[in-house]
Structure 1
Amino acid sequence: MPKDSFAPETAYELAQVNIARLKYPLDAPELKDFVDALDPVNAVADAADGFVWRLRSESGNATDVPVFGDSWLIVNMSVWRDTNALTAFMYQGQHRELLSRRFEWFERVAEAMTTLWWVPAGHRPTVAEAEERLLRLRAEGPTPYAFTLRTAFPPETSENAASQQVS
């Protein structure tokens, strides 16, 4: 759970990305429970209080959207009203159950695979933007530019952070 939850004024929304390295191909029997749960969990997210948007491809989810040029990585990216809304969804119901089983389906990795950042209301982040934020988190740790639920920053700090570029 986050130490502090920030509820932005209507000028900002919270973007999140998480990526995972598959242990098996998506059509493998070992991933059946995960794949079968995608549509129901996405439906719960779509209906959740504070949900704004999620990345989707023609398939209706984002498992076939390339990230970091690695076919073994899958991406989930969404926008929420604030950290409270995201946290409420993440740690309740079927999503919480799936989260507890993640190491059955995904490799354990040492580097950060999830990051958050504030976006202007109405902005829908791209995968390239998410990759840049995640790389910055890996390089510098949590900053207003890219942070985690454990070390969150208020949206006001994102105005200055948004103009920073990855070096």
Structure 2
Amino acid sequence: MNVKLRKMTVSEFELFKQYSIEDYAIDIIKNSDKSLKEAQSQAEKEFSDMLKDGVDTKDNDLMIIEDCDAEKNVGVIWYLYECTDGVKYTFLSDFVVKEEERRKGYATAALYEMEKEAGKHDCTECRLYVGKDNKKGINLYTKVGYEIFRNVDGGMYMAKTIHL
């Protein structure tokens, strides 16, 4: 499978932003007593705070997952670069493979591409958060080498050391 990650265009970012805010608002409602309006407002504010400059926000990669052979967009992946306690790492913020493209290896390939980019930025780890009810996500991340390093109420943080 020949997969590459390419930077989102401004119009792709606008679609991603709309989807991401709606999706995050649903998560907020599941984990709080907030109304739909309150959850949407919180999600929009947090998204805008994190991505002040849209696709050009420093230390954030907002990418389209492309199948190079079929020449099609199969999903999106957003990761950022951080450093905590002297460890430079990539944090996976959002990751969606289109429903009709799932179970074809795109997610695994995209994670490996993200890891390559992380290595180019001198990161030694990739980290992510996954909800405890996201069994498919947990299985995928475990399969490609992520391990739990912290459990929290709604899920867990997982990490993988990069060996590139």
Please say whether Structure 1 and Structure 2 have the same fold, judged by a TM-score greater than 0.5: no
Which structure has greater strand proportion?
2
TM-score (norm. length: structure 2): 0.29
TM-score (norm. length: structure 1): 0.29
